Amino acid sequence: MNHDHKKVFLITGVSSGFGRAFSEAAVAAGHQVIGTVRREDDRAPFEAIAPGSARAVVLDVTDFAAIDGAIASMIDEFGRIDVLINNAGYGHEGVLEESPLEAMRHQFEVNVFGAVAMMKAVLPGMRERRSGHIINMSSMAGYTPLPGIAYYAGSKFALEGITGVLAKEVEAFGIKVTAIAPGSFRTDWAGRSMIRSERSIADYDALFDPIRKAREDKSGKQAGDPGRAAQALLQLIDAKQAPVHLLLGSDALNVVRGHLADLLAQIDTWEPVSRSTDFA
């Protein structure tokens, strides 16, 4: 691979799932990958992917005070960061009424504030070079209100909106910004990465028990292949015109298209009321 195409990737949360799959694919394509892990123990397994091309850095994306220094060290060593992939995140599952506010705060700290802190840290260098690509891992739950994951969906709706705004703010500087919204993939999202609120209100049993059971039953059998998602990511990085929003998985396509059709129908039904509020 000629050196012009070799990029420096910074990927958060590389111990498993998409982060791991993306790192392996990027290294195989000849890129340099810096991956963040939360524990010292995770450093060696990650670097074993490709000694020299895969570098692990211990960093928790919610340790905001540490982020700028960590990025500065990376830039000292590798010269630049071409691609930031905000992949660190987790799912919180629970009926809204049953889920403590503290759980929501932590969900947003990781999935939204952590991602934004990373973006803010790489933007000055990207702006100076007039190039770069920021990729935020979202979810089909960032479009579609799926019952039982209000806090997670809220965090992904926020990330989708922030991504769209940032894309407009930095377009003139040659910086691309994309939110990737996967459907159900075979990652740890519904397994060890999922935080679940305790059940306490019987009224929600009929709605929520089947949802929780279906998610547990499907864990490990999802249609989405993280390896294929990683190939899609490489295509996205190489694209001249990168989309701001990219769905991955046929389930995501079906669910999001269905939701957008419902939304348009509601807008059309209530159009007279919407128009009635302008000054006469």
The catalytic site residues sit at: 138, 152, 156
Residue 211 burial (10 A CB sphere; 0-12, 13-18, 19+): middle
Tell me how far CA of residue 190 lies from CA of 94, 181, 183, 193, in angstroms: 13, 16, 12, 6
Q: What is the dihedral of CA 239, 68, 102, 87, to 10 degrees?
A: 20
Q: In 10 A of CB 169, how many CB atoms?
A: 11
DSSP annotation string for 88-109? ---EEEB-GGGS-HHHHHHHHI
Distance CA 237, CA 235 (A): 5
Q: Which is nearest to 7 in space by CA: 237, 210, 205?
A: 237
Distance CA 136, CA 224 (A): 18
Q: Which is nearest to 249 in space by CA: 181, 191, 193?
A: 181
Q: Which is nearest to 83 in space by CA: 12, 132, 145, 49?
A: 132
